[in-house]
Amino acid sequence: MQQRSYCGYSGRGGANSCSIYRGYLVRRTVHKCQNKEDISPVPVKVRLQDVLAEMSADDIERNLRNLTLKPHHASSSRNTELAHFIKDQWKGYGFEVKLIRYNVLLSFPEKGKINGASLQDGSGKVQYQTAKDEKVLEPSEESSDALPPFSAFSPTGKEKGDLIYVNYGRHDDFKLLLSKNVNCSGRIVIVRYGHVFRGDKVTNAQKFGAKAILIYNDPQDFAPVPDEDLYPHGWWLPRTGVQRGSILMGTGDPLTPRYPSKDGVLRKSSSEIKMPYIPAHPISAKDAEQFLRLLGGEKAPDDWQGGLDITYHLGPGFTGNYTDWKVEVETNNNHTRRDISNVIATLKGSVEPDRLVLLGNHRDAWVFGGIDPSSGTACLMEIAKALGTKYIQGWRPRRSIVLCSWGGEEYGLLGSTEWVEDNIHLLYQRAVAYLNVDSPIRGNYSLYVRASPLLHKVLFSASKQVKNPLDIDQSVYENWLDKFPASNGRTPKIPPLGSGSDYSPFCQRAGVPSADIRYVFDMRQFHNITSYPTYHSIHDTFAYVKKFVDPHFTTHLAIAQVWGSTAFLLAETPLLPINCSDYATALNKGVLDIERKYGSALAKNGISLEYLNKAVKEFEEGAESMQTLIEIPWSLSFINDRLTGLEKNFLNPEGLPGRPLYWHSIFAPSLHNSYASATFPGLHDALVDAVNNGAQNSTWVLVKEELSNTIVAIEWAAQFLNSNV
C-alpha cells in the first residue's frame, strides 16, 4: 500500500557496463543522469516474493550445522574463523564487506583454578564441591574449547559464610527478606535465574550487603516436568545444566564508555570503572539442591518455593546437624583485553545509497550457540544469499541494506556498542531502521516482536507476506494476531524494546527505530519463563535445535522471511512505510499509564501533567499533519527525512539519572530489570522512587525534573513534525 507512484530522486550516475560474475552476466545498474528525462530507476525489478522464494529451510539447516560445529565464544579463534567465513560468503553475493575489530575487556575463568562453591563442615573440611563443568550428555557436546560455567566479570575472590535464599534476587525479593529481619549483610546469597537480568541480581546482592552470590537454574523455571522429559530425552534443562553469562551492568566495553575501543582511544584505568565486586558464580540445580536442602530459618513464602523436591527455607545458615557448616564461594577469573570482530556488509542502494536499513545478530556464543545466537546467523546468511542472488541478476535495492554479524555480544553488547560508538553521527543521520534477532528460534508457537512504534506498520506488512510454519493456510501475521493480540484486538501486540541485545545502542545512542524479532514457545504454559531451557548451557547445540526446536527448519525459514521482508520493504518502498501516529498512540498510552498509577500521588505533590498532555497533543497533531503531507504528493526526500529523523528527536544526551548513556527519553530498559522496558523511563523510575520514599522532598524534585525532560523531548519531536522551524 506504500507503493504509490512518485517522482524519485535522480538516479545514480556513471556509465552502463557489463561484467561476468560467477557465470552470470551482471549489468552494472549505474546510470548517467544527464537531464530530467533520464531518471529511470534501476532496470531489474524484483518483487518481495521473488526474494523470499530464494530462501530454503535446507540451506538454513546447513548454515546452522556449520556455525555450531565448535564452541565459538567472543575472541576465540573459531569465532574469528566464522567471521572470515561469513565475510567471504557475503562478498561472493556482491556485498561490500568489512571485518572490523575492537579491542575490548573480556573475562575468562582461570584455567586449572576453582570456580565454584563448596559445603564445608565445622572443621572446614569440604563435604561437597560443585561441578567444574556441565555434564556432557551427547557426543556432539564434547569439546575442549567449551568455556565452563562462570559469571563473566565476577572478580576473583573467596568468601565463606552463611547462606540465604533470595528467590529471583530481585530488588523486591531482597526487600521482603529485610521485612522478615533476614539481613544479607556479610552473608552469601543464592538466587535462581529468571525474571531479571543476572547483573541486576548481583547488583541487588551487593546493595543489600551480601559478600558472594550463587545463581542457579531452578527446575520450576527451566524444567517443570518429570525427569524423563529432561534433555537428552526432551528439551528441558537437565539437573546438571548451568547458565553462563555476564553480570556486568551497562553495555559496551567498560574501558571505553561512550567511545569506540580502537587504537588511539584511551582506556579507563581499572579504578575508574564500576565492576561487580563480590564473587558471583552460576551452578546447576543438582548442585544448588545440596545447599538449599540444608537451609534453616523461616520457610520461604509459597511463591518462593521452586521446583526442587525440598521445602525451601530462607536461612541464614543451615539447620539440624549442619548449623556449623558453611558455604564457601571461590572464583578465579581473569579480565583481559582481546580483539573481537564485527562483519559489516553493505548491498549498496541505487537511489538512496546513504540511507541504511540494518539487520544484525551476534555471532559469538557461550558454547555451541545452537539457538543463541546461531539460529539467527543461519537466517541472516540465508537473507544474504537471497538478496545476493537477486543482486547478481542485476537488481539493486533503492536504499542500502547492511548486514551486521556482531562479536562480543555475550559480554555486554560489545561489538554492536563499539560500532555504534564508532559511527554515532553517521547512524543518527543515515540509518532508517535496525532490525535485530537474537536466538530468534525459541519455539514455533508464534512470532513475537518488540519494536519502536514507527516500525509497527512495516512489521505487520512483512509478517503478512510469510506463511505460518505450523499452518501454511495462515500467515505468520494471522497466527501472531491470534496468539498475541493488542488490547484493542485489531493488531498483534508489539511491546517496546528493553535491553539485552544489540538493538540497545542503536535505540539508546543513535535514535534508530529498532525491532527485535523472534519465534517463541508458549511461555505462558510454563510459569511465564522467558528463556528457553538450555539457554547459555552446553546443551544449546545443533542437535538440540534439530531434535526439539525446529526439526524441519520451517520456523527458521519463517524468521528469515519475516526479517528479510521487513528489510526489503524498508529498503525498497519509495515512501517509507512508517506511520507516525503509531508513536502518538504509544505516547498517549504512556501518559494514561502514568495518570492511572500515579495521578493521585502527583496531585498530592502539586505536580500537574498539563504540559505533558499538551506536548503529546502537539505530537499527535504533527503525526496527523504527516499523514496530510503524505497524501499530497511532495518531494519524497522531504517526507522520508521526517520519517527517518523523527525518532532521533527523543534522544537527550544528558541521559537518564545515573545512566548517562541511555539517551532515549521515551523507551529504555527498566531500572530494576535491564531486560524489560519502561515508557518515559526517567519519569517512571523517579515516580517509583518518590512513591516508595513517601514525602521526601528531594525525590519529588527528581520527578519534576524528569517530567520536564520528558515534555521537552516530546516537544522536540512535535516541533520537528509540525513545521520547518
Contact assessment for residue 152 and residue 410, using Cβ atoms and an 8 Å cutoff: yes
Among 152-160, 481-489, 549-557, 648-656, the segment contacting a second copy (CB under 8 A): 648-656
Which x/- pattern over 391-410 shows residues binding a second copy (rule: CB under 8 A)?
Answer: ---------x-x--------
Q: Mapping DSSP to helix (H, G, I), strand (E, B) and coil, where does residue 483 land?
A: helix
Closest distance to a second copy from the beta carbon of 196 (Å): 29
User: Locate cell 517463541: which residue?
Assistant: 520
Q: Residues near 71 by Cβ (< 8 Å), separated by ≥ 6? A: 78, 143, 145, 146, 147, 365, 367, 368, 369
DSSP-assigned letters across all residues of 358-427: EEEEE---SSS-TTTTHHHHHHHHHHHHHHHHHHHTT---SEEEEEEEES-GGGTSHHHHHHHHHSHHHH
Within residues 216-275, the interface with a second copy by CB under 8 A covers 258-260, 263-266
Contacts (CB under 8 A) with a second copy, residues 584-623: 610-612, 614-615
Shortest separation between residue 708's beta carbon and a second copy, angstroms: 4
Residue 608 bears catalytic tag: yes
Binding mask 350-389 for a second copy (x = CB under 8 A): -xxxx-x---------------------------------
Piece in contact with a second copy (CB under 8 A), picked from 369-377, 487-495, 578-586, 628-636? 628-636
The cell for 492 is 498483534
| Contact positions with a second copy (CB under 8 A) in 686-715 | 704-705, 707-709, 711-712, 715
- For the bound state, the minimum distance from the C-beta of residue 394 to a second copy, rounded and expressed in Å, comes to 20
For 134, half-sphere exposure in the C-beta direction (CA atoms, 13 angstrom radius) is 35
Q: Which residue do the cell numbers 576473583 mark? A: 156
The minimum distance between CB 615 and a second copy, in angstroms, equals: 7
Residue 641 bears catalytic tag? yes
Answer yes or no whether residue 423 interacts with a second copy by CB under 8 A. Answer: yes
| Piece of 3-11, 108-116, 462-470, 477-485 that binds a second copy (CB under 8 A) | 3-11
Q: Which of residues 95-114 bind a second copy (CB under 8 A)?
A: 98
Q: What is the dihedral of CA 76, 78, 83, 89, to 10 degrees?
A: 180
Between 478 and 705, name the residue whose CB sits nearer to a second copy.
705
Tallying the residues shown for the chain, one arrives at 725
Choosing from 9, 477, 506, 548, the residue that interacts with a second copy (CB under 8 A) is: 9
Q: What is the b/e burial string over 550-576, where b = at least 16 CB atoms within 10 angstroms of the residue's CB?
A: beebbbbbbbbbbbbbbbbbbbbbbbb
Q: What is the dihedral of CA 487, 493, 498, 500, to 10 degrees?
A: 140
Span interacting with a second copy, options 167-175, 242-250, 322-330, 426-434, rule CB under 8 A: 426-434
What DSSP element (H or E) covers 433?
Answer: strand 431-436
AA identity, residue 99: L
Residue from 311, 321, 323, 635 touching a second copy (CB under 8 A): that is 635
- Part in contact with a second copy (CB under 8 A); list of ranges 31-39, 202-210, 481-489, 527-535: 31-39
Tell me how many residues contact a second copy (CB under 8 A). Answer: 78
* CA dist., res. 651 & res. 451, Å (int): 16
CA 709/CA 278 separation, integer angstroms = 35
Q: Minimum distance between the CB of residue 654 and a second copy, rounded to whole angstroms?
A: 6
Q: How far apart are the first and last CA of the chain?
A: 31
Q: Which of 61, 330, 372, 409 is catalytic?
A: 409
Q: Which of these, 564, 576, 580, 633, lies nearest to 3 by C-alpha position?
A: 576
CB of 94 to a second copy, least distance (A): 15
Task: Choose the stretch contacting a second copy; rule: CB under 8 A; options: 32-40, 328-336, 528-536, 564-572.
Answer: 32-40
**Residue 423 CB, nearest approach to a second copy (Å):** 6
User: Which residue is catalytic, options 608, 635, 637, 654?
Assistant: 608
Q: If DSSP codes are grouped into helix, strand and coil, which group holds residue 281?
A: strand
**C-beta closer to a second copy: residue 12 or 539:** 12
User: What nine digits make up the cell of 112?
Assistant: 586449572
Which of 27, 348, 617, 659 binds a second copy (CB under 8 A)? It is 348
Q: Does 91 bind a second copy (CB under 8 A)?
A: no
**664 counts as catalytic:** yes
Q: Which of 3, 16, 17, 40 binds a second copy (CB under 8 A)?
A: 40
> Could you tell me the smallest distance in angstroms from the CB atom of residue 557 to a second copy?
28
- Beta-strand runs (E) in 547-672: 667-670
User: Which residues are designated catalytic?
Assistant: 409, 608, 641, 664
